[in-house]
Structure 1
Amino acid sequence: MISRTFYISALFALVSFFIHAQKAPLEEVDPPYFIKSIELAGTNNGDQFPILKLGEPLKVNFDDINGDEADYYYKIVHCNYDWTPSNLAKAQYMRGMDNQRIINYENSFNTLQLYSNYRLTIPNRFTTLLLSGNYMLSIYNDEDELMFSRKFIVYENSVGVAAAVHRTRDLSTIQQDQLIQFEINTSSMRLRNPERELKVAILQNYQWKTAITDIKPQYTLGTRFVYRYNTETSFPGGNEYYNFDNKEIRGGNVSIASIELKDLYHNYLHTNATRAGEPYTFNPDINGDFLINTIQGDDPSIEADYAVIHFSLANYMNLTGSKIYVQGRFNNYAINEENQLFYNEETDLYEAPLLLKQGFYNYRYVVVNEKGEVDPVKISGSNFETENEYLIIVYFRKFGEIYDRIIGIGSTNSSVIKN
């Protein structure tokens, strides 16, 4: 005879299953118009994406151009490999608590655009992270409304990852694509079932939206797990990013055609031309990133001003039913009306004005068709020679555990590409 306890346990297990099964992956949320210049940084200075070794600090910086010293709060969620929230309680991955007010902020100094600059460092006296893995940081206002959210990762250095960039083996895309091959050395760990315990994610230029996941090792050599796919781990090479530098907001620059002072400074960039089909030309870039900077003061966080940057694109290919957007790390590769280019019949150009803080910026143009599909190479073209940064993230979930650790990372650059 089946006991009542059995029924209760079975019911609890069934409810738990459905609750967990219904969890959706967390997506990054872009901010409202008055939140600008969001920066997340770890110890890997210059990279677009904070990669923190367990115990290292995360630094967050953003502006509110309302300039009214509003109150903002932060929350942190630990996530699984697929960015669904893990089943861990906060006390298991965090010492202390989150949902704390950001107390470090200053108002802008000697700028035409007034703003309040907010700075957050984790760990702090309230919050310390205890486990490796995927994390989502969310910023809320004092009415508990989500302002924006950003991803970051915390890793343990437990395994080695060796990677290299090759030309793809697919002859139809050999001039456009780059192939990532790598291996994971787990000599310092004992894996019982690596097919199930190990997972990887491959990122090009730290962009999660185009990450390659769900790749299994092709074969094993002792403690080495080898991933030598011919096409499954390939990315379009794309092209080097366009750039501009307006750290001198009142003076000329090679990328700025003219300057005008109205209520704010307006910087008009030289018109960009469509590069699809053109021969590859090397142009050093920072792979889509941006760097806030000014020569008018000592602290760019509060002394860099904002300017209206006027982008323009000369494009003569047929884009019926499609839209063009300008994007980079400065807007988290957003697709919205704010960064959409509109055709100007008087100039015969696609144009867009964006309010951006002084500094050095990389940017690109992407096309979105009627189905909502994003084509990042239609305007810029794609070349196997393009310099790109690649990141390999290694996840591990031991049998019986309820969360995914990050046990190692590897990186490689296509500046040295192998045939």
Structure 2
Amino acid sequence: MPLRLKQLLLFLAFLFGTVSSFFSQSFSENSADANHIRTIQLYGDSEFAGIPIIKLGTPFKITFDDINGDEADYYYRITHHNFDWTPSVLYKNEFLDGFDEIRIVNYENSFNTLQLYSHYTLNIPNEDTRRLKVSGNYKIEIYDDDDEVVFSRKFIVYENRSTVKVYIKRSRDFNFINTKQSVQFEIDSPNEILRNPNRTVKTLVMQNNDIKNSITNLTPQFTIANKLVYKYDQESAFWGGNEFLFFDSKDIRASNAGIGRIELQDIYHNYLHRNVVRANRKYTYNPDINGNFVVRNIDADNSDVESDYSWVHFALECYEPLEGGEIHLYGNFNNYALDESTKLDYDEESGLFYTKKLFKQGFYNYKYVLLRPDGTIDPGFISGNFDETENEYTVIPYYRAPTERYDRAIGKGIGNSTNITN
């Protein structure tokens, strides 16, 4: 075979292999976080609970720890997606100014901790990735030298092209008036006509920025000039849930809120006070941060690298029949994922459900949910559902004009159930 033809065939094989790999990774859901990757956080103007929602042009950063502590090399890849999280048809240079697939060079090792780890920080924009050009859904993947994705995160970039007003209402169905919260909203686009909105406008409605518990199938009920009105009841209703539980390990050697006792073994072990089922009790106001967490060490100058890790032990008293289901921890500490590390096991001797999980020092929200055999999550089985619960609701409208090739996120609206009305 002539040398030039052989080189051409090798180049085509590499090119199509790369394209195939790109699309197979893009179509996949968020990959499970590698076990040695911990405390993943994404920041913009503030920390985000759940999926980050960032205004177009706003700088943001992502941080994480590698508890192997071996200063491994990690790289990042950014992809653009449609409303339904399938890959968009945009080329890389249409949504990204600069380059990705670049090594993360900003990292440092932990200091004065029993658990060794390397702390990584990625800032965007940077000298390689200058800016994101368009709004919409994005995914960032962090991968290692073997091109294995160690974790990925979705985020949404929006532009201010519309005004979204959000109202929280009690359910009009008397069966759910004390347990559900309905989200009603209006989308006003004074500077752009949203043509054929039943087909071109889509909406994402989330409770506490938990995209796994979102409503996406709503169409406008009627229009007033350029205003789209959504006044649904059950179609846009969420279970009220209950306030998140919490613990505070800012001083890892002393008992704080939620922590009953502490032991020092290889590293510190924090044993939380026993929790009970709240579904059969009256609602009690207990301020939370809607499932989020904050890393902090009161004795540190830099909590990012001076906060230690500890094993946190959870105990739950539950005598309700599970009917084949599993009880799991739930919160933004692991992106609301349910896996073996969040599952509670039953101990026959004590009659309690137990689990332990590794957490970096800080303030954490969590709750218990029931994972049913059919894969659905019952958030109120342990915690209960109350219309008084404080929840934050976010509405993101998307618009794809007849001539456009991608779904633009054209605004953001926020409502809180503290202002709930009938």
When normalised by structure 2's length, the TM-score is 0.92
- Cα distance in 2 for residues equivalent to 1:192 and 1:395: 12
Give the drift of 1:332: 1.3
Q: Which residue of 2 aligns with 1:337?
A: 340
Q: Is the 8 A contact 1:41 1:49 kept in 2?
A: no
Give the drift of 1:196: 1.9
Q: Percent identity?
A: 50
Check if 1:42 corresponds to 2:37: no
| 365, 368, 372: which one aligns with 1:369 | 372
Q: Which residue of 1 aligns with 2:110?
A: 108
SS in 2 for 1:338: coil
Q: Which residue of 1 aligns with 2:124?
A: 122
Give the drift of 1:65: 0.2
- CA deviations over 1:183-242 (Å, ceiling 9, x no partner): 011111123322222111101000111110021100011111100012100000000001
SS in 1 for 2:341: helix
Q: How does 1:134-149 map to 2 (within 5 A)?
A: 134-149=137-152
- Cα distance in 2 for residues equivalent to 1:131 and 1:372: 35
- Cα distance in 2 for residues equivalent to 1:24 and 1:142: 19
Q: Is the 8 A contact 1:44 1:51 kept in 2?
A: no
- CA deviations over 1:89-135 (Å, ceiling 9, x no partner): 00100011110100000000000000000000111111121111100
- Cα distance in 1 for residues equivalent to 2:419 and 2:397: 23
Q: Which residue of 1 aligns with 2:9?
A: none
Q: Is the 8 A contact 2:42 2:48 kept in 1?
A: no
Q: Which residue of 1 aligns with 2:4?
A: none
Q: How does 1:236-315 map to 2 (within 5 A)?
A: 236-315=239-318
Give the drift of 1:46: 5.4
Distance 1:56 1:22, change over 3 A: closer
Q: Which residue of 2 aligns with 1:64?
A: 66
Over aligned residue pairs, what C-alpha RMSD do you find? Answer: 1.6
- CA deviations over 1:377-417 (Å, ceiling 9, x no partner): 10111001100010000101110211011111100100110
Q: Which residue of 2 aligns with 1:85?
A: 87
Task: Compare 102-111 and 162-171 and name the one that shifted more.
Answer: 162-171
Q: Aligned residues, how many?
A: 400
Distance 1:23 1:196, change over 3 A: farther
Gaps of 5+ in 2: 1-19
SS in 1 for 2:304: helix
- Cα distance in 2 for residues equivalent to 1:191 and 1:255: 50
Q: Which residue of 1 aligns with 2:412?
A: 409
- Cα distance in 1 for residues equivalent to 2:108 and 2:205: 38
Q: Is the 8 A contact 1:40 1:49 kept in 2?
A: no
When normalised by structure 1's length, the TM-score is 0.93
Gaps of 5+ in 1: 1-18
- Cα distance in 1 for residues equivalent to 2:31 and 2:163: 33
- Cα distance in 2 for residues equivalent to 1:102 and 1:24: 21
| 163, 172, 175: which one aligns with 1:172 | 175
Q: Tell me which amino acid in the other structure corresponds to 1:184.
A: I
Q: Is the 8 A contact 1:239 1:380 kept in 2?
A: yes
| 169, 178, 187: which one aligns with 1:184 | 187
- Cα distance in 2 for residues equivalent to 1:26 and 1:293: 34
- Cα distance in 1 for residues equivalent to 2:324 and 2:225: 54
Q: Which residue of 1 aligns with 2:96?
A: 94
- Cα distance in 2 for residues equivalent to 1:83 and 1:384: 31
- Cα distance in 2 for residues equivalent to 1:171 and 1:349: 35
Q: Is the 8 A contact 1:50 1:58 kept in 2?
A: no
- Cα distance in 1 for residues equivalent to 2:257 and 2:293: 17
SS in 2 for 1:98: coil
Check if 1:196 corresponds to 2:171: no
- Cα distance in 2 for residues equivalent to 1:325 and 1:355: 15
- Cα distance in 2 for residues equivalent to 1:395 and 1:317: 42
- CA deviations over 1:130-163 (Å, ceiling 9, x no partner): 1111000111011100111111111110110111
Q: Tell me which amino acid in the other structure corresponds to 1:29.
A: S
- Cα distance in 2 for residues equivalent to 1:280 and 1:80: 40
- Cα distance in 2 for residues equivalent to 1:160 and 1:191: 13
